[in-house]
Amino acid sequence: MSASNWGRSVAAIVSLASIGTGAQTPRTVAFENVTVVPMTKAGLLPGHTVVVTGDRITAVGPAKTTRAPEGATRIDGQGKYLMPGLAEMHGHIPPPTAPRELVDNVLFLYVATGVTTVRGMQGAPGQLELREAARRGEIVAPNLYLAGPQFSGTAVKSVEDAAARVRQQKSEGWDLLKVQEGLALDVYDSMAKTAKEVAIRFGGHVPDSIDVIHALDMGQETFDHIDGYIEHLDGRAKVVDDKALQDLVLRTRKAGAWIVPTMVVWETLQGPVTLESRTSLPELQYMPATQVAQWTKALETRLKNPQFNAPQAKLHIDNRIHIMKALHAGGVRLLLGSDAPQQFNVPGYSIHREMKSMADAGITPYDVIKSGTANVGEYFKAQDTFGIVAAGQRADLILVDANPLQNVTNMEKRSGVMIRGRWLPAAEINARLAKIAAAR
């Protein structure tokens, strides 16, 4: 059920010089007369000034009493909305063995769309150095939290291998373990028990040999793609039984687990979508033509397969939506993720499509945005403070031209993005995007 085979796809991107790749000296920026979307509650703070020094928010207050320090870069926020940066909680990045220009380009696509945090879910040697380079501001990149090389049935074949691999990844400094398909039950349990011993979190898929209830009992922390839930409820073959679903929601909430839905990519991979609905996406201009052609062929082949059953595919997708809504309504915390890059999921842009999908399913704009901001800050609270607009928080911000709490699509109207205190105005972002599109 992996949805992350994309190495060849981004390799054809022709990268151009990144925007100011040198590390930046601390500076002060003030957003004046702006409406703040704090994400501490479902409300707005109009007529405020937000001051950023270095990579931290240092002041948030009414414009009448909160003044920009002398020498600060002042940004007029009149009529605009300042909100926390978004997260991609199931994303992928090129391995550092790829050309440096390629790595910079792919990471830039995230930042350009307001995605300031990425939880990378397919680790590769050298990525930890990339994570630190991003933190130091040496490249335009989101903040990276990285899973190590995956725990799959082909990579980890014994309980001894699993325990040793957990200890190795913990000692190397990875942020979490990535669970993939194919693990035997005893191997999974060895991984989980050792992870608890050394205090490293794990999440991702639920291997076919394991029921989601067992994974919850063993302490798996995130369930990406709602993996294991559809299988437990037999949601591919029949309408989900609501009593069984509510029991599973309660178990999930009690376990303190998180859900990363990735709804749109699963519609592309398994739902009754049309080819035109995907090939007409404007953001495909930022991916190489060869990659788009591969995606098109793969989807066309699936839809033309005599075994493809459109009503059954629709049932599967409808059940996924129903499960996500029930989990959310039952108090299970959602984390925003889209599994980019993937079929027709362009980094960053796919997060905005994911948010619209969640809103279309009936989740309020505030709760959709919270899944990609405050919830993510809560998930990573042991490592940093971010995800809301408040003093002391990491200065990852988006300045948008319309109220995102009215409609999540308003986040696509950006005046600029701030990443770790570094301000990238829309004109600068758009110039770089134009170069990427021209080089495809």
Decide if 25 is inside a domain: no
Decide if 196 is inside a domain: yes
**pLDDT (mean) for 142-163:** 97
Task: Please provide the average confidence, as pLDDT, over all residues in the chain.
Answer: 93
**Count of domains for the chain:** 1
Decide if 305 is inside a domain: yes
Look at residue 18 and tell me whether its pLDDT is greater than 60.
no
- Rounded to whole angstroms, the Cα distance separating 305 from 371 reads 36
pLDDT tier, 98 (very low <50, low <70, confident <90, very high otherwise): confident
Q: Nearest Cα to 377, choosing from 45, 25, 65, 117?
A: 117
Residue 331 belongs to domain with CATH number: 3.20.20.140
- Rounded to whole angstroms, the Cα distance separating 161 from 269 reads 32
Rg of the chain, C-alpha, whole Å: 21
Decide if 79 is inside a domain: no
Decide if 287 is inside a domain: yes
- Rounded to whole angstroms, the Cα distance separating 389 from 236 reads 41
**pLDDT (mean) for 105-110:** 93
Give the pLDDT confidence score for residue 105 in this predicted structure: 85
Decide if 44 is inside a domain: no
The tokens of 24 are what?
């930046």
**pLDDT (mean) for 331-352:** 97
pLDDT, one tens digit per residue, over 196-242 is 999 999 999 999 999 999 999 999 999 999 999 999 999 999 999 99
Give the pLDDT confidence score for residue 25 in this predicted structure: 52
Decide if 318 is inside a domain: yes
State which residues form the domain around 377.
111-383
Say whether pTM exceeds 0.85. yes
- Rounded to whole angstroms, the Cα distance separating 322 from 396 reads 32
pLDDT, one tens digit per residue, over 395-435 is 999 999 999 999 999 999 999 999 999 999 999 999 999 99
Phi, psi of 228 (to 5 degrees): 90, -25
Helix (H) or strand (E) holding 324: helix 310-329
Decide if 98 is inside a domain: no
